[in-house]
Amino acid sequence: MTKTVIVTGGAGYVGAHCAKVFANAGWNVVTIDNLSRGWRDAVRWGPLVECDIRDSSAVRGALATYKPDLVAHFAAFAYVGESVTEPAIYYENNVAGTLALLGSMRETGCFRILFSSTCASYGIPEVVPIDESHPQVPINPYGWSKMIVERMLENYSRAYGLSSVCLRYFNAAGCDPDGEIGEHHEPETHAIPLVIEAARNPERPFTVFGTDFPTPDGSAIRDYIHVVDLAKAHLLAGEMLMRRDGAFVYNLGTGVGTSVFELLDTVARVSGTAPALRYGPRREGDPPKLVASFAKAAGELGWQPTNSDIDFIVKTALSWRDHHFATQSATFP
């Protein structure tokens, strides 16, 4: 029998890529999104229910109509800087929104959920690579909002029998190799699209924040994971939840770090143009190195990041940008 997944936030970057992977694996896909930060044209693999996850009546109606086997929950605000200046909307949307969603799920008898979490819940790492046992001490409201939901899911598992998988992403990057969907944030804060834009448009230089980190070249190191690899992990986790009950947590990264200067060199090589640059001081709370251990996901889910070579990530992101954002009037997609 064909399984059904409801994807909250499925009009956004990671959610849309996950919707495609689920659909290609034979699942029926339904998207719930209020389109406040997503894109209608990114919803291509099933119907869109346009509503906020805090609208319990509408969400219950969608759950009752489509009777999903699983909810994949991506609906959240995800700008670290904005979370510092506007923490209220992060706790209202990310935490209270999830609380409302879980209430709707319980009322309609849906007890399996995948949660889009983040390495930001770890805060400043004590050891690298970071595994799932690392203490979670967030340093911004965004990280706290995700960690609070993780605790909620643990509690709901014990009290109500809700089964969940929390997937802690490192740096999501790249775009659909088929070119159907891609990365489009307003404003854009992710490093790779910003570096690519700086290579294509010298009037929009990329800012290197800090060149005095305790790393081999002095720039910060991050673990970039292709969005398609993230999507495949969600599919594997969803299939696992069809067989197992409980609350599970997995890191999603590559175990390989790329420094800012290495990323700049990669973009220059792949694009044929060196990005325009400017330099700024370190940002407060910016860790020198964030790299994941994904051994648990490999062992329990059978997952491997097979698309996350940094050259391939940049090539897919560059292809998307050049095809869809050649002019200022370009729209998504």
Catalytic annotation present for 224 = no
Angle subtended at Cα 11 by Cα 7 and Cα 15, rounded to the nearest 5 degrees: 50
Strands (E), 218-305: 221-222, 224-226, 247-252, 258-259, 277-280, 289-290
Mean pLDDT, residues 167-181: 95
pLDDT 10s digits, 177-235: 999 999 887 888 899 999 999 999 999 999 999 999 999 999 999 999 999 999 999 99
Q: How many CB atoms lie within 10 A of CB 251?
A: 27
pLDDT 10s digits, 136-146: 999 999 999 99
Give the pLDDT of residue 325. Answer: 66
Give the residue extent of every domain in the chain.
4-173+225-252, 191-222+255-324
> What sign for the dihedral angle of Cα 133, 134, 136, 142?
negative
What whole-number distance in Å separates Cα of residue 69 and Cα of residue 110?
A: 7
What whole-number distance in Å separates Cα of residue 238 and Cα of residue 72?
A: 8
Angle subtended at Cα 254 by Cα 218 and Cα 12, rounded to the nearest 5 degrees: 100
What whole-number distance in Å separates Cα of residue 153 and Cα of residue 135?
A: 18
Give the pLDDT of residue 187. Answer: 83
Residue 331 has pLDDT above 80, yes or no: no
Indicate which residue of 66, 142, 169, 250 is catalytic: 142
What whole-number distance in Å separates Cα of residue 286 and Cα of residue 123?
A: 9
Mean pLDDT, residues 320-330: 66
CA atoms within 13 A on the CB side of 258: 23
Q: How many CB atoms lie within 10 A of CB 151?
A: 10
Structure tokens given for 137: 């001490």
Q: DSSP string covering 83-142, please?
A: HHH-HHHHIIIIIIHHHHHHHHHHHHT--EEEEEEEGGGG-S-SSSSB-TTS----SSHH
Looking at every residue in the chain, the average pLDDT score rounds to 94
- Looking at the domain covering 191-222+255-324, what would its CATH class be? alpha beta
Residue 329 has pLDDT above 80, yes or no: no
Sequence letter at residue 256: V
Instruction: Place 96 in a pLDDT band, splitting at 50, 70 and 90.
Output: very high
Closest CA to 278 of 175, 224, 202: 202
Give the pLDDT of residue 189. Answer: 86
Q: Please state the φ and ψ torsions of residue 50, each to the nearest 5 degrees.
A: -90, 100
Give the pLDDT of residue 284. Answer: 82
What whole-number distance in Å separates Cα of residue 194 and Cα of residue 177?
A: 19
Mean pLDDT, residues 265-285: 94
Give the pLDDT of residue 249. Answer: 98
Give the pLDDT of residue 148. Answer: 98
CA distances from 329 to 268, 324, 325, 326 (A): 25, 10, 8, 8
Give the pLDDT of residue 185. Answer: 78
Mean pLDDT, residues 275-280: 96
Structure tokens given for 31: 């998207």
What whole-number distance in Å separates Cα of residue 115 and Cα of residue 50?
A: 20
Q: Please state the φ and ψ torsions of residue 120, each to the nearest 5 degrees.
A: -60, -15
Give the pLDDT of residue 183. Answer: 87
Query: DSSP secondary-structure letter at 43?
Result: -
Residues in the chain: 333
Mean pLDDT, residues 160-176: 97
Residue 328 has pLDDT above 90, yes or no: no
What CATH number belongs to 4-173+225-252?
3.40.50.720
Give the pLDDT of residue 138. Answer: 95
pLDDT 10s digits, 40-95: 999 999 999 999 999 999 999 999 999 999 999 999 999 888 999 999 999 999 99
In the block, residue with structure tokens 């959610």: 15
186 vs 325: which has the higher pLDDT: 186
Residue 170 has pLDDT above 80, yes or no: yes
Percent residues over pLDDT 70 in the chain: 97
